[in-house]
């Protein structure tokens, strides 16, 4: 398995924003948060090197309250080291699919949603049975000249 690499697009944190709420402020950089999905209450701390970015307050009220957009336009989790379990376990990409030349031809997000501009891959994908496990899926792709790598 290949390691998951975050692209810092912010989509997950923007969508999870309604699930993470500040319950109590302990200081300007320490909070107790409630995760609506699990009911978990946990302490979080804004990372020292991100405190200025956090204090900028440049965020949409629908986002996670700890998500900020930096000067380069990338999204940053200001509590990354103390983030909730739901955030630690979330993967927007679960598999990367490569063509015969080793170039990325597409990726899988969630359980089985293909994102690709490769017409050949999209045609093969349509023929894969919905209940196919990862081993079967990889075998089918391999038979059509693609290589799939799961992300952990």
Q: What is the pLDDT of residue 67?
A: 93
Q: What is the pLDDT of residue 43?
A: 97
Whether residue 4 is predicted with pLDDT greater than 70 in this model: the reply is no
Do residues 22 and 31 make contact, with C-beta atoms less than 8 angstroms apart?
A: yes
Q: What is the pLDDT of residue 76?
A: 92
Residue (of 105, 125, 127) closest to 116 by Cα position:
105
Q: What is the pLDDT of residues 45-93, one digit of tens each?
A: 999 999 999 998 777 888 899 999 988 989 999 999 999 988 887 777 7
* pTM exceeds 0.75: no
Q: Give me the mean pLDDT over the 32-45 stretch.
A: 93
Residue of higher predicted confidence among 100 and 62: 100
Q: What is the pLDDT of residues 102-123, one digit of tens each?
A: 999 998 887 788 989 999 999 9
DSSP element (H, E) containing 28: none
Residue of higher predicted confidence among 111 and 132: 132
Q: What is the pLDDT of residue 3?
A: 63
Spans of all domains in the chain? 11-89, 95-150
Residue (of 93, 102, 88) closest to 145 by Cα position:
102
């Amino acid at each position: 398995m290949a390691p998951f690499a975050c692209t810092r697009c912010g989509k997950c944190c923007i969508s999870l924003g309604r699930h993470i709420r500040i319950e109590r402020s302990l200081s300007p950089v320490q909070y107790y948060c409630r995760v609506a999905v699990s009911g978990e209450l946990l302490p979080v701390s804004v990372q020292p090197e991100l405190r200025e970015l956090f204090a900028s307050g440049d965020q949409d009220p629908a986002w996670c309250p700890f998500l900020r957009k930096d000067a380069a336009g990338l999204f940053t989790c200001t509590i990354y080291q103390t983030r909730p379990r739901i955030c630690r376990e979330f993967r927007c990409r679960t598999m990367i699919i490569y063509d015969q030349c080793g170039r990325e031809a597409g990726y899988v997000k969630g359980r089985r949603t293909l994102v690709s501009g490769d017409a050949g891959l999209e045609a093969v994908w349509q023929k894969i049975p919905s209940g196919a496990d990862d081993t079967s899926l990889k075998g089918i792709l391999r038979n059509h000249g693609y290589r799939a790598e799961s992300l952990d």
